[in-house]
């Protein structure tokens, strides 16, 4: 059931009374004082009026920054699961240049949000509703003030037409109340989701007066209207896109914006592969390079601009889990629907050999979905609380993973570890596969063949290395290189055997895990459950994580989820770098302090 209670009343007092009568809820039943922020667990780190700790309020304003981006784009609507959308509109890497939210995240805390488009937020102890008060300064780029009707419109539209995770999150709201132009309340008494008030605080806000509901689900090149600091400038599909600072931006004086969004123009240029993008950076045609190639980081920066100081190289530490970067099995398809096949494949991935030959030994092996944090289960036995959570699912976690002794298979680095091959063949035999005349065959005599789909040269290189490791046991791995548009289309429909994927992680994982690992997401087109995992224990651990009322209970639930996912063998874990490697034009600068997530590009500036 979904109810919408509007503001067609002359008196706010009358509206409040009628709202209480319709919903059966009163302020006395759910006392909640308005606050300037909200935290998932624990206290807020910032005081009202504080800038973000990783921004410099004295940063110079003006100039142009140019970034290189792989692939292309055919859509300026970042909210829908269609097409390849342009970067920057609403972006975890480059910032929210066009679309903003009611609350803003402080990336130096695990999960705390502060008033932004909304000046304050009210949440009862039960966390079954949330009320936002719109900042009277907040306005869209065309000058229209943001109202509670825009907020309600945004939730309804994104719930019905948005990306799958939006539909999942916002669909939990049962009632919307808009008693006046600056107040909106969402009620969700049956959600049992303590993170939902924060998720709603991060919802992008769209202009009801400038958004066509009927055409919203279609891709478009029409420049969108948002409330962010930039407007769309030139748009050349597949080539480049420019954002220009809005001089009338409502948030210029907001405390959380001090030292952010400093450039006058931001340009994105698109490249088909990493080599072309790196050559453009070397030539000075782009200003920033986040380096993911360890070998290139070690040996590839001996070029004139780097030698004479026009390019700066820097290693930036990280304070968050490294996430899971992996080859992903599509368990919806044979032969990867058999867990013994997936286990065998893991025994054939020689990480020390790949690390030495492709990455100059600079990378570390990933062994958890939350590697390098207290949330990782690897290396520690399950606590009593974890075991209690997992007790209803006795077969969901492997014994070695439960007691903390499991690691990914460790090979000798020769590229032909016979011990590992013998173990792989034993597991293949249990799954009905045998070697015959140099080929791995099933009981019907069909050969073991599959396709690794890639969209970048870096992914192709690691896939080719794995192909070489599989060949001696009679496995044929075909590498299929496709453009970004086709790649995204096939991802949406889970049309692949194996891909290389990355699931980022934070210190406060939450609702995004539903979209990645729930039983429902496995069948939901456009979800991030690429592996097709359908393990009820994962759903239960996610529920426990979302219901946790304190940090210790939360950590136990996340570690239990990690154990379930590792036991399902949905991936071949790959690797991670010890820190962020970045190179940039010397005319750019950034604050001395960085966030837990490393660099925050919206806090950088162009030197005068």
3-state secondary structure 543-559: HHHHHCCCHHHHHHHHH
Residue 19 pLDDT: 35
Coil, strand or helix at 401 = helix
Domain of 596, CATH number, reads: 3.40.190.10
Cα–Cα distance for residue pair 498/341, rounded to 1 Å: 13
- One-character DSSP codes across 469-502: HHGGGT-EEEEEE--HHHHHHHHHTT--SEEEEE
**Per-residue model confidence as pLDDT tens digits over 100-109:** 999 999 999 9
Backbone angles phi, psi at 311, to 5 degrees: -120, 135
* Secondary structure in 3-state letters for 121-161: EECCCCCCEEEEEECCCCECCCCCECCHHHHHHHHHHHHHH
Same domain membership, residue 21 and residue 66: yes
Give the pLDDT confidence score for residue 594 in this predicted structure.
Answer: 93
What letter does residue 574 receive in the DSSP assignment? -
Given CA atoms 138, 140, 144, 149 in this order, what sign does their dihedral have?
A: negative
Q: Are 317 and 599 in contact (CB under 8 A)?
A: no
Domain identity same for 90 and 38 = yes
Q: What is the reported pLDDT for 10? A: 32
The answer on pLDDT for 82 being more than 90 is no
pTM (2 decimals)? 0.82
User: How many beta carbons lie within 10 A of that of residue 522, not counting itself?
Assistant: 18
561 and 607 part of one domain? no
Same domain, 249 and 332: no
Phi, psi of 114 (to 5 degrees): -130, 155
Query: Tens digit of pLDDT for each residue in 36-66?
Result: 999 999 899 999 999 999 999 999 999 999 9
CATH number reported for the structural domain that contains residue 467 in this entry: 3.10.105.10
**pLDDT of the residue at 520:** 96
Q: Give me the sheet containing 265-271, strands edge to edge.
A: 230-236, 240-245, 265-271, 64-70, 288-291, 580-585, 311-316
**pLDDT for res 6:** 61
Exposed / middle / buried, residue 240 (Cβ in 10 Å: 0-12, 13-18, 19+): middle
Residue pLDDT, tens place only, 227-256: 999 999 999 988 999 999 999 999 999 999
At residue 70's C-alpha, the angle toward residues 67 and 73, to 5°, is 95
Check residue 16 and give its pLDDT.
36
Indicate if the pLDDT at residue 29 is higher than 70: no
Note whether 161 and 263 are same-domain residues: yes
Q: Which of 457, 462, 455 is nearest to 325 (CA)?
A: 462
The pLDDT assigned to 14 comes to: 31
Work out the mean pLDDT of the chain and round it to a whole number. Answer: 93
By DSSP bridging, strand 265-271 and strand 439-441 are unpaired
Residues 6+ apart with CB under 8 A from 13: none
263 and 368 part of one domain: no
pLDDT at residue number 7: 44
C-alpha atoms less than 13 angstroms from C-alpha of 190 in its C-beta half-sphere: 7
CB 232 within 8 A of CB 240: no
Residue bearing tokens 């290389």: 500
The pLDDT of 287-301, averaged and rounded, is 92
Mark whether 477 and 489 lie in a shared domain: yes
**Torsion sign (Cα): 363, 365, 368, 372:** negative
445, with CB counted inside 10 A (0-12, 13-18, 19+), is exposed
Q: What is the 3-state secondary structure (H, E, C) of 252-301?
A: CCCHHHCCCCCCCEEEEEEECCHHHHHHHHHCCCCCEEEECCHHHHHHCC
pLDDT at 81: 85
Taking the C-alpha atoms of residue 115 and residue 495, their distance in angstroms, rounded to an integer, is 41
- Distance between CA atoms of residues 197 and 305, nearest Å: 48
The confidence score (pLDDT) of residue 109 equals 94
Give the tokens for residue 592: 């001395």
pLDDT of residue 2: 60
- Overall number of domains in the chain: 2
Distance CA 583, CA 591 (A): 15
Q: What is the pLDDT of residue 3?
A: 64
Asked if 511 and 368 sit in the same domain, the reply is: yes
Answer yes or no: are the C-beta atoms of 269 and 68 closer than 8 Å.
Answer: yes
Instruction: Locate 196 and state its tokens.
Output: 């939902």
Angle between helices 274-282 and 457-470 in degrees, nearest 10: 140
**pLDDT computed for residue 8 by the predictor:** 37
Peptide bond into 335 cis (omega under 30): yes
Tens-digit pLDDT profile for residues 520-571: 999 998 899 999 999 999 999 999 999 999 999 999 999 999 999 999 999 9
Same domain, 131 and 262: yes
Encode 377-403: b = buried (16+ Cβ within 10 Å), e = exposed: bbeeebeebbeebbeebeebbbeebbe
Pairwise CA distance, residues 599 & 580, whole Å: 8
Q: What is the DSSP letter of 602?
A: G
Looking at the structure, tell me whether residues 427 and 380 fall in a common domain.
yes
254 and 386 in a common domain: no
Is 346 a residue whose pLDDT tops 90?
A: yes
Q: Which domain holds residue 526?
A: 324-576
Name the nearest CA neighbour of 127 among 189, 176, 201.
Answer: 189
What would the pLDDT profile of 162-172 be if each residue is shown by its tens digit? 998 899 899 99
pLDDT on residue 92: 85
Mean pLDDT within 188-209: 96
Confidence band for 150, pLDDT divided at 50, 70 and 90: very high
* 469 in the same domain as 454: yes
Confidence check: pLDDT of 200 > 50 = yes
């Amino acid at each position: 059931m979904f109810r919408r209670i509007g503001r067609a009343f002359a008196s706010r007092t009358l509206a409040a009374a009628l709202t209480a009568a319709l919903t059966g809820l009163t302020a006395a039943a759910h006392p909640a004082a308005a606050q300037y922020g909200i935290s998932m667990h624990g206290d807020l780190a910032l005081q009202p009026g504080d800038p973000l700790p990783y921004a410099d309020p004295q940063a110079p304003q003006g100039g142009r920054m140019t970034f290189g981006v792989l692939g292309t784009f055919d859509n300026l609507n970042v909210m829908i699961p269609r097409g390849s959308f342009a970067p920057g509109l609403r972006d975890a890497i480059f910032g929210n240049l066009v679309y903003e939210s009611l609350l803003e995240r402080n990336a130096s805390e695990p999960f705390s949000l502060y008033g932004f488009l909304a000046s304050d937020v009210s949440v009862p102890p039960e966390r079954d509703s949330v009320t936002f008060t719109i900042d009277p300064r907040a306005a869209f780029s065309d000058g229209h003030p943001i109202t509670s009707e825009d907020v309600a419109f945004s939730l309804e539209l994104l719930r019905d037409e948005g990306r799958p995770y939006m539909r999942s999150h916002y669909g939990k709201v049962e009632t919307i109340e808009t008693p006046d132009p600056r107040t909106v309340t969402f009620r969700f008494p049956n959600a049992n989701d303590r993170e939902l008030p924060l998720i709603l605080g991060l919802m992008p806000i769209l202009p009801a007066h400038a958004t066509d509901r009927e055409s919203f689900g279609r891709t478009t090149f029409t420049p969108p209207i948002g409330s962010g600091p930039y407007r769309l400038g030139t748009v050349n599909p597949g080539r480049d896109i420019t954002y220009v600072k809005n001089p009338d931006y409502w948030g210029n004086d907001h405390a959380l914006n001090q030292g952010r969004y400093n450039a006058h123009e931001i340009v994105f240029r698109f490249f088909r592969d990493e080599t072309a993008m790196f050559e453009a950076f070397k030539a000075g045609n782009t200003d920033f390079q986040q380096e993911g190639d360890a070998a290139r980081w070690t040996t590839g920066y001996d070029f004139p601009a780097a030698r004479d100081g026009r390019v700066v190289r820097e290693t930036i530490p990280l304070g968050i889990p490294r996430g899971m970067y992996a080859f992903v099995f599509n368990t919806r398809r044979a032969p990867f629907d058999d867990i013994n096949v997936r286990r065998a494949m893991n025994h054939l991935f020689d990480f020390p050999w790949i690390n030495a030959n492709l990455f100059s030994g600079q990378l570390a092996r990933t062994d958890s979905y939350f590697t390098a944090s207290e949330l990782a289960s690897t290396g520690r036995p399950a606590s009593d609380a974890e075991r209690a959570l997992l007790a209803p699912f006795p077969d969901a976690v492997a014994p070695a993973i439960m007691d903390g002794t499991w690691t990914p298979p460790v090979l000798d680095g020769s590229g032909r570890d016979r011990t590992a091959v013998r173990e792989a063949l034993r597991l293949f035999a249990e799954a009905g596969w045998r070697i015959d005349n140099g080929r791995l065959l099933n009981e019907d005599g069909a050969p073991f063949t599959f396709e690794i789909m890639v969209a970048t040269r870096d992914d192709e290189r690691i896939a080719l290395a794995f192909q070489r490791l599989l060949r001696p046991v009679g496995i044929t791995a075909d590498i299929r290189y496709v453009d970004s548009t086709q790649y995204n289309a096939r991802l949406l429909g889970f049309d692949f055997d194996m891909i290389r994927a990355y699931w980022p992680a934070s210190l406060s994982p939450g609702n995004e895990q539903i979209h990645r690992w729930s039983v429902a997401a496995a069948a939901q087109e456009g979800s991030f459950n690429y592996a097709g995992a359908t393990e009820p224990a994962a759903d239960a651990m996610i529920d426990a994580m979302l219901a946790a009322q304190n940090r210790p209970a939360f950590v136990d639930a996340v570690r239990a989820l990690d154990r379930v996912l590792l036991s399902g063998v949905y991936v071949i874990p790959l690797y991670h770098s010890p820190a962020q490697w970045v190179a940039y034009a010397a005319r750019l600068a950034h604050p001395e302090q960085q966030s837990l997530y490393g660099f925050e590009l919206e806090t950088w500036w162009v030197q005068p």
